A and B are shown apart, each in its own frame.
Chain A
């Protein structure tokens, strides 16, 4: 039972490089989310997708884009990475009226 799968688990980028973080869920959830987790800041919502075909901004969307590829997959893209985007990124999914389930994260360092 995989749940929420994130790839890659670790990545190091140089400033200005682009990258796409992948997320897939096998629980038939309709909603999916991207968060970043930084020390002392807690989890902050970047973007979410309430259902296939829709995406909305969260608290910290600047510098990111997302794509809800299908019901299972929700990707996060950094077009031009900046050191301030060094963080641990978590994907989550849920049914609309149920709590969110999280993946194990992608640790991203930008030099």
Chain B
């Protein structure tokens, strides 16, 4: 079993929809949680990061962490075609150095 599980998708939604992307993990020591966006043939780009539990909001994006359930989510409001990409979750027990990545969820937002 992988330490971090992420549904590969693709997840197809119409423009304007609210998108929910999720990861589950097995290591209870994880405390740092990140979401990266990766466009085709590009490198991952950091979207948001959180420490421990709770929510964090940045524009149309909201990250949630539920440590009791070992479950993290990224919500995208008013989704746009430009949001079409692969979304990677990443996490670590200590700092930002030794990250464990999910395999990514491919999101397609149609006009």
Q: Decide if B96 touches A100 in the complex (CB within 8 Å).
A: yes
Chain A interface: which of B37-45, B59-67, B73-81? B37-45
Q: Decide if A98 touches B96 in the complex (CB within 8 Å).
A: yes
B46 on the A face (CB < 8 A): yes
Please name all residues of chain B whose beta carbon is closer than 8 Å to the beta carbon of A97 when the two chains form the complex: 95-96
The 0/1 profile, CB within 8 Å of A marked 1, for residues 19-40 of chain B is 0000000000000001010000
B103 on the A face (CB < 8 A): yes
Please name all residues of chain B whose beta carbon is closer than 8 Å to the beta carbon of A4 when the two chains form the complex: 43
**How many chain B residues touch A (Cβ–Cβ < 8 Å)?**
23
Q: Decide if B44 touches A43 in the complex (CB within 8 Å).
A: yes
Residue of A nearest to B98 (CB): A45
Contacting residue for A90 out of B43, B49, B97, B98, CB 8 A: B43
Contacting residue for A42 out of B42, B46, B98, B104, CB 8 A: B104
Q: Decide if A42 touches B43 in the complex (CB within 8 Å).
A: no
Contacting residue for B43 out of A40, A45, A96, A103, CB 8 A: A103
B85 on the A face (CB < 8 A): no
Pick from B4, B42, B43, B101 the residue with the most CB of A within 10 Å.
Answer: B43
User: In the assembled complex, how far is the CB of residue A28 from the closest CB belonging to chain B, in whole angstroms?
Assistant: 16
User: In the assembled complex, how far is the CB of residue A35 from the closest CB belonging to chain B, in whole angstroms?
Assistant: 8
B107 on the A face (CB < 8 A): no
The 0/1 profile, CB within 8 Å of B marked 1, for residues 36-53 of chain A is 000011111100101000
Can you show 27 pairs from A to B with CB atoms below 8 A apart? A40-B103, A42-B4, A42-B6, A42-B101, A42-B102, A42-B103, A43-B88, A43-B99, A43-B101, A45-B98, A45-B99, A48-B97, A48-B98, A58-B98, A90-B43, A90-B44, A92-B43, A94-B96, A96-B95, A99-B46, A100-B99, A102-B43, A102-B44, A102-B45, A104-B43, A105-B42, A105-B43
